[in-house]
């Protein structure tokens, strides 16, 4: 039996722990997201780049890669959802617009985009867990 993937993530602990750890929790959280997306979407034969690549390329591109990274992760989840018959309401272009808009309103929209991504990831994790015999 495959390992159960967490499907109850929320934006509030992410914000709280990121603040009190001065961003260290955020890096760990992103690492877990990449691991889970790679597991959920393993049938597509792709691997999402890890947090080290995310950090380096985001710094080198002044944050542009941040948007690309989130959109690629969301695209993988949406493509896998489509093959599994799971309906994902959030579009990748909508997520991208929130991340771009975040540059104009001090990052607040980025938290909205992350919240929406977490919802998509939770939905796909629930589906993955159900397919692999985990019912909680």
In the predicted model, what is the mean pLDDT of residues 3-9? 93
pLDDT of residue 100: 86
* Residue 127 predicted with pLDDT over 90: yes
Distances (CA, A) of 88 to 104, 118, 120: 27, 12, 7
pLDDT of residue 109: 86
Instruction: Report pLDDT digits (tens) over 25-43.
Output: 999 999 999 999 999 999 9
Q: Confidence class of residue 50 from pLDDT cuts 50, 70 and 90? A: very high
In the predicted model, what is the mean pLDDT of residues 54-71? 94
pLDDT of residue 136: 61
CB 136, CB 6: distance < 8 Å: no
Instruction: Report pLDDT digits (tens) over 79-123.
Output: 999 999 999 988 888 888 888 888 787 778 888 999 999 999 999
User: CB count, 10 Å around CB of 18?
Assistant: 17
In the predicted model, what is the mean pLDDT of residues 54-82? 94
pTM above 0.75, yes or no: yes
């Amino acid at each position: 039996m495959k390992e159960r993937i967490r499907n109850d993530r929320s934006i509030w602990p992410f914000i709280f722990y990121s603040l009190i750890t001065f961003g260290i929790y955020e890096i760990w959280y992103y690492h877990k997201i990449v691991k889970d997306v790679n597991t959920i979407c393993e049938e597509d034969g792709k691997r999402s780049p890890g947090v080290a690549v995310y950090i380096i390329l985001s710094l080198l591109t002044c944050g542009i890669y941040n948007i690309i990274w989130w959109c690629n992760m969301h695209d993988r989840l949406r493509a896998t959802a489509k093959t599994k018959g799971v309906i994902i309401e959030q579009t990748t272009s909508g997520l991208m617009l929130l991340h771009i808009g975040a540059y104009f309103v001090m990052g607040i929209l980025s938290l909205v985009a992350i919240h929406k991504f977490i919802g998509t990831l939770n939905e796909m994790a629930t589906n993955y867990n159900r397919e692999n015999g985990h019912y909680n």
